[in-house]
Structure 1
């Protein structure tokens, strides 16, 4: 069983949510609405949606959002929020690699929140193919990642740590495996007397690899940006926003 099946619960889940910046999320939502060319009535797929920090505000603009995520805690939280606010959000709690999405059903799709590194190469191509098949022709697919090779490797850190809100501390020991193309990490979260440790494997892709896989799925890459201001991505930039269109 892959590491992400059991990672998103308890202390790591709480730390991830507390680490998010609401103002920055609002900027990302505006960015998504713009680059995906969506608005009221659009059918949108949120892949690896988490607790719905993008899906909820997009739904509030009139989009019909379908969310898929593997975390039962996140899915329950999102379902409760959608019900209480009467939002047009459909929540699917499943591993996307084993779930059959409807074909040609969505006007747009996105995978944000730095989740675009969970899968090894064969499964990553399957994942991209699934999203592409679910899009209508001409629909856009946008991704965000901080784990691109051009971002990670120039200043690779074998150890790092940072404080999180609510007195949570995050620590990581990282080992890059160049033959396999992934980082094997031991991540530890500490809050008071509570301590949780997980072994995490993040698969590292070059921009060229991702572009090739998108093209194999029938998706044309139309933009690669370093930030929400749409500055072109270049070596050493900390994150990538990639936009593609189904041919």
Structure 2
């Protein structure tokens, strides 16, 4: 079982949600709507949907969302809110690699929230092929990651920590394994007397490598941006927003 199957529960799940900026999320929703050319009635897949911070606003704007996530807590919260607000959201609490969709099931898809680096290379290629298969011809796929090689290595830190909203403190001890291309981190969350530690693997890709893998899956990269203003991605940018189209 991969580490991310049990990571988003309890204190880490709470810390992730508290660390999100609502205004920035609104900008990301606008970015998704514009770059994916979303229209009312479009069927959209949200991969690693979490508690639906992107999916709920898009559903409120008339898109039909299918949300896949592994966290029972997040899925239950998303299901409850979508039912209360009568929004067109279908929640699937499962690993995206294990979910079966028919070919051409979606007009667009996205994977935001820095979860794109969860997959090792073999699984990543399977994941991209799955996305390609379920999109209609010309359908688009957007991803966000802060774990691109060009982002991580110019300012690589072996240790880092930060306070999270409330009384939670996050600490990480990082080690890079170059032969396999991943960072293994011992992540610790502390809140009062509560302490939770997980071993996490983030797989690090270069932009060129991602371009090749997308192309191999039938997805042509049409934009690689360093921010939501759609400026071209440059070495040292802290995050990547990438958009690809099925050909």
Q: In the alignment, does 2:46 pair up with 1:42?
A: no
| Alpha-carbon distance in structure 2 between the residues aligned to 1:170 and 1:129 | 35
Q: Which residue is 2:234 aligned to? A: 234
1:62 is matched with 62
Inter-partner Cα distance in structure 2 for 1:97 and 1:223: 25
Task: Confirm whether residue 146 of structure 1 aligns to residue 153 of structure 2.
Answer: no
Q: 1:121 corresponds to which residue?
A: 121
Q: Does 1:86 align with 2:86?
A: yes
TM-score normalised over the length of structure 2: 0.99
Distance in 2 of aligned mates of 1:99 and 1:64: 18
Query: Are 2:33 and 1:33 aligned?
Result: yes
1:102: Cα distance to partner? 2.0
- Structure-2 separation of matches of 1:126 and 1:76: 27
Matched, 1:180 2:180: yes
Q: How far apart, CA to CA, are the structure 1 residues paired with 2:95 and 2:111?
A: 14
Distance in 2 separating the partners of 1:78 and 1:101:
21
Number of equivalences: 247
The reply to whether residue 130 of structure 1 matches residue 153 of structure 2 is no
Residue 105 of structure 1 and its aligned partner are, at CA, apart by 1.1
Distance 2:182 2:102 in 1: 31
List structure 1 segments (4+ residues) > 6 angstroms apart after TM superposition: none
Matched, 1:52 2:46: no
- 1:96 shift after superposition: 1.0
Q: CA deviation at 1:99?
A: 1.5
CA deviations 1:4-45 (Å, max 9, x no partner) are 011000000000000000000000000000000002111100
CA–CA separation in structure 2 for the residues paired with 1:223 and 1:30:
16
C-alpha distance in 1 between matches for 2:29 and 2:98: 28
Question: Aligned partners of 2:92, 2:102: CA distance in 1, in Å?
Answer: 13
Q: Which moved more, 1:91-100 or 1:52-61?
A: 91-100
Q: Could you say what secondary structure the match of 2:102 adopts?
A: coil
Number of the residue aligned with 2:189:
189
Unaligned runs of 5+ in 2: none
CA distance in 1, matches of 2:102, 2:205: 28
Query: Secondary structure, in 3 states, of the residue corresponding to 1:59?
Result: helix
